[in-house]
Amino acid sequence: MTSIKLAAPAKVNLFLKVLNKRKDGYHNILTVFERISLADTISISKAPAGIAVKCDRFVTRRPEDNIAYKAAELIIRREGIKSGVRIEIKKAVPIGAGLGGGSSDAAAVLMGMNKLFGLGLSRDRLIGLSAVLGADVPFFMLDTPFAIGRSKGDKVERISSGKRLWHLIIYPGFRLSTKGVYEAFEAIPKSLTTLYDDDKIMAHLTDTSDSSELESMLYNDLEEIAASKKKIIGKIIERLAYSLNKKAIVTGSGPSVFCLYATRKEADRARRKLFRSMPAAGRQGWQIFVTDTKIN
């Protein structure tokens, strides 16, 4: 085998609660990840030496700052690989959108190089390597549709669920700094409201759970901050509530917003209704996706 191609799926956070700040500057969180079918395509080929990363969209000024490059460099160094790789990324997931595209690309590079070079690394070993790269990367190593994330989000546990959800996702066309959103969150008074614990979250994701109950679980502590930084985020959430009668939340630290549907037909109909309710000028720069849970 001299080359391999993998899909690198995006994610949404169905639930995100910030618990406290850590001594290392990060935050402990409780989150529910869902892997979705919107995905980048990663092609990896063996090369005599070095690491080359080519992407069809601008990501970083220096190739070595791309997280996919860092993933390749990490596994080459840790596993003593003597040759190099060429990595080609075809982006479908917006960059800096809160959808985990970069983290998923990094996970795909680790998994792809493990197969390409016949390293035989265990899933636990790969998860350990992935945690060095970023807090969301371990989730994408699990190969599961749903998981609970703890600590920085890097301590992940599968949620056994056969549920398939459909989503209307709106990316408003700009990036938000994850670090900046968390720093701003620290500056606001914290609510004492008790929210869902692990058992309640898992119950909502069982096959027999009611869709309306699952929608009621949607929550993100960072939403208020994200909306305060870019007013359009709050306006999108309000528009989805007004036009579609749907609860919508920010995923990750933003800026993407999503809501849930039981079927593709419902999600497609909602997309058309949203388009009719807003002039094109009001949606300038937006990317709107209908996507579902990635089961396998």
pLDDT single digits (tens) 123-174: 999 999 999 999 999 999 998 999 999 999 999 999 988 889 999 999 999 9
Residue 251 pLDDT greater than 80, yes or no: yes
Catalytic residue among 11, 70, 91, 163: 11
Say what the pTM is.
0.94
pLDDT single digits (tens) 24-52: 888 999 999 999 999 999 999 999 999 99
Residue 209 pLDDT greater than 90, yes or no: no
Catalytic residue among 136, 154, 221, 292: 136
* Contacts of 129 by beta carbon, 8 Å cutoff, 6+ apart: 74, 75, 78, 110, 121
Own/partner long-range contacts of 88-91 (Cβ < 8 Å, ≥24 apart) = 88/42, 88/43, 88/44, 88/45, 88/53, 88/54, 88/55, 89/40, 89/41, 89/42, 89/43, 89/53, 89/54, 89/55, 89/56, 89/59, 90/40, 90/41, 90/43, 90/56, 91/40, 91/55, 91/56, 91/57
Specify whether 5 is catalytic: no
Across the chain, what does the average pLDDT equal?
92
Residue 89's beta-bridge partner residues? 42, 55
To the nearest whole percent, how much of the chain has pLDDT over 90? 78
pLDDT class for 282, splitting at 50, 70, 90? confident
Q: List the domains of the chain with CATH numbers.
A: 3-158 (3.30.230.10), 166-292 (3.30.70.890)
Specify whether 207 is catalytic: no
DSSP one-letter string for 10-76: EEEEEEEEEEEE-TTS-EEEEEEEEEEEEEEEEEEEEESSSEEEEESS---SSGGGSHHHHHHHHHH
The H or E element spanning position 292 is: strand 287-292
